[in-house]
């Protein structure tokens, strides 16, 4: 499976979020994990799009090298 969801699935998620449906209900209806829907909602809140812009690098600070 690729990194991105299909456009029609993303549109369904956005539509259901705009209608204030509960995230667990959205996840069950579309066959997704709840964390996926939560991440998409967070991205829409932060950047207004389903995925972070390519210039944004999200990582784990615990993996940085110690100097």
Q: For the chain, which residues make up each domain, given as ranges? A: 7-63
The model's pLDDT over 1-57, given as tens digits with 9 standing for 90+, comes to 457 899 999 999 999 999 999 999 999 999 999 999 999 999 999 889 998 887 776
Note the pTM of the prediction, 2 decimals.
0.77
The helix-helix angle for 23-30 and 34-47 (nearest 10°) equals: 120
Neighbours of 45 (CB within 10 A): 9
Rg of the chain over CA atoms, in angstroms? 14
């Amino acid at each position: 499976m690729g990194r991105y969801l299909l456009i029609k699935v993303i549109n369904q998620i956005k539509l259901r979020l705009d209608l204030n449906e509960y995230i667990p209900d959205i996840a069950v209806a579309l066959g997704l994990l709840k964390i996926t829907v939560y991440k998409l909602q967070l991205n829409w809140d932060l950047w207004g799009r389903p995925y972070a812009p390519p210039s944004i690098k999200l990582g784990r600070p615990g993996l940085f090298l110690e100097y």
